[in-house]
Structure 1
Amino acid sequence: MGMVSEFKEFAMRGNVIDLAVGVVIGGAFGKIVSALVDKVIMPPLGLLIGGVDFSAWAITLKAASVDAAGKEVPAVAIGIGDFLNALVQFVIVAFAIFLMIKALNAAQRKKEAAPAPPPEPSEEVKLLTEIRDALKAR
């Protein structure tokens, strides 16, 4: 089997396609959550705390400066606000995944808990049932 045909067989498996769809949807969902956190959740939260802009919240270890050659040296800072934004985004994504997995597990349990239909009675049992019903009718 040639490499191209092997790759085609591999790529067309259901699991690979499902994984690709999941990655694309996950990337889009990540962008939605980033926008939600950065533009919707954090600004009112910062306003409630006292006008704090979380995206600009940082601890500056070394201020920006200009070296002897006239080149600007950027500041060295710890971006606490960026970390908090990422943390909130993670919690939202993790909670959404938790809810999805919980729903899938509940559906799986319901599917497994459904009772199987009783097996079809054998010919002997059917014959004995007919005899019993005939005797009762007398």
Structure 2
Amino acid sequence: MFWEDFKKFAIRGNVVDMAVGVVIGAAFGNIVKAIVDHLIMPPIGLLTGGIDFSRHYIMLKHPSGPGPYASPEEMVKAGAVLVQYGVVINNLVSFIIVAFCVFMIIRLMGKLHRTHEEAATTKDCPECAMSIPIKAVRCGHCTTELKTA
């Protein structure tokens, strides 16, 4: 009984569609990440003088072992307690850049879709649902007078 229910669940169209969406979403995420990391971040890094916020932190507890430490990660491994606000800043900046890139891609696709819609030469009559020329003021099938935009 359990396996039959599971098979029905796994084979349903919604689950398969969701799985395809997750796979395509992951691939799309890799593309956006590559655009951000290799096309957008280098000029931003150049403009900011190469500031690396990941090394900005507040030390709450010093490490127990002797230093020097090359990175905050090494300090944490040695027992330090750090508030790494720089990592949060980096992630916020990355999120804003990724969100902007996704917005621009969706906006571009929307424009392409609208251009395709504008190329339509027919429309449906609101009364009889028959296809009529886009510039028609009266339906040739049911003679309904159409509103002009």
Category of TM-score, reference length = shorter chain = 0.5 to 0.7
Change (3 A) 1:84 1:76: same
SS at match of 1:64: coil
What is the rounded CA distance, in whole Å, between the counterparts of 1:97 and 1:53 in structure 2? Answer: 24
Aligned residues of 2:58 and 2:83 also touching (Cα < 8 A): yes
Name structure 2 gaps, 5 residues minimum.
Answer: 66-76, 123-131, 142-149
- List per-residue Cα deviations over 1:54-112 (Å, max 9, x = no partner): 2211111221126xxxxx86111111221121011101110011112212322333344
TM-score, length-scaled by structure 2: 0.52
Cα deviation, residue 18, structure 1: 4.1
Query: Counterpart in 1 of 2:91?
Result: 86
The TM-score with structure 1 as length reference comes to: 0.56
Summarize the alignment of residues 1-138 of structure 1 with structure 2, pairs less than 5 Å apart: 2-3=4-5, 4-10=7-13, 13=16, 15-29=17-31, 31-32=33-34, 35-36=37-38, 40=42, 44=46, 47=49, 52-65=51-64, 74-113=79-118, 114-116=120-122, 118=133
Higher helix residue share:
1
Q: 1:47 aligns to what SS in structure 2?
A: coil
Task: Give the greater-gyration-radius structure (CA).
Answer: 1
Structure 2 Cα separation of the partners of residues 64 and 73 of structure 1: 5
Identity %: 25
